[in-house]
Amino acid sequence: MNIKAIRFEGNGTFAQDVPALADAIKAGGDELVLLLPGNSRVKRAAAAAAMRAGAEIDTNVVDVDLADGKAVARRWVYRQRIFTTFSRAARPWVIVTDPSLFDELCAKVGVTAVALDAAASAPSRTTVNGVENAGTGGESTIKPDARLLFVAGAGWTKKQADGALHLDEASAAITGFLGKSGASLGSSKSLVDMPEAAAAFSFMSHMNQVGQTGSTPRHQKGLATCCHGEEPHVVGWRFVSERRAVNLDANCGWAQGKADVVYVADAFAVMKKVNELMA
């Protein structure tokens, strides 16, 4: 069985990515099973490239294994309530997995990902002069490809031991950690709904909300701070592989078997020390 893994490098447009990826699929032969990391660029081009190459494609795959000489994939369906195991006889077969799982799955099936420079292999009249983040011009705090998800709860806005609010200090601790670690930022609903915290936490919006009424991220690791860890929070964490939490309450929801490690400590002190160690 011919199994390959490809990741894009450099900058490329849709017009460059599609033919370059289609050529890579065709070059692999009729027995090709191709693994791709499902970042936004790959998801934009993979379906069109597979159609052009005459290949079958499956996305949102969370596991790939080899059984009896054939590739077997697994993914969630029906709003992530049913875990399915399936295989395809059709070749070539393109499998798109989550970016955080890509290296792990490559190692599992014994392949090393090769780089594909679409701009070099499929030149076009379009020239990419650079990539600029969309939005207001600030740095994006939502990073699906990051290995770590850092979630802030409403506890950051509560009065501290001295009886005063420390919103600016909380903001500096959070943004400092994000800048040094490259983590993606999540938030509880109670924090993003809090109008008095909007000015200090201007880097956060409802797009960062994680949980029952928010997003369901798939980062490899997660660190929750100042949120209680009850069901509305934990529901959004069910695909995070390693969960840790910082909370002053030793009986919080995280401590009831919902986190792998719980630090019973002041998040302000913990994150201040972490930022100092990462300096």
Q: Which residue would you say has higher pLDDT here, 15 or 125?
A: 15
Q: Tell me, yes or no, whether 108 and 172 share the same domain.
A: no
Kind of pairing between the strands at 70-77 and 63-67: antiparallel
Give pLDDT tens digits for 165-197.
999 999 999 999 999 999 999 999 889 888 878
> Which pLDDT score is estimated for 124?
61
| Percent of the chain's residues with pLDDT above 70 | 93
Nearest to 120, CA basis, from 6, 20, 242: 20
142 assigned to some structural domain: no
Q: What is d(CA 118, CA 157) in angstroms, rounded to the nearest whole number?
A: 46
Statement: residue 199 has pLDDT above 60: yes
Query: What is the extent of the structural domain holding 179?
Result: 148-277
Domain count, the chain: 2
**Residues 158, 164: Cα–Cα separation, whole Å:** 8
62 contacts 104 by C-beta, under 8 angstroms: no
Residue 219 covered by a domain = yes
Residues 179 and 261 in one domain: yes
- For residues 55 and 111, membership in a common domain is answered with yes
Residue 125, pLDDT score = 67
pLDDT band at 108 (very low <50, low <70, confident <90, very high): very high
Name the token pair of 209: 């909300």
pLDDT recorded at residue 132: 65
Residues 115 and 152 in one domain: no
Q: What is the pTM of this model?
A: 0.59
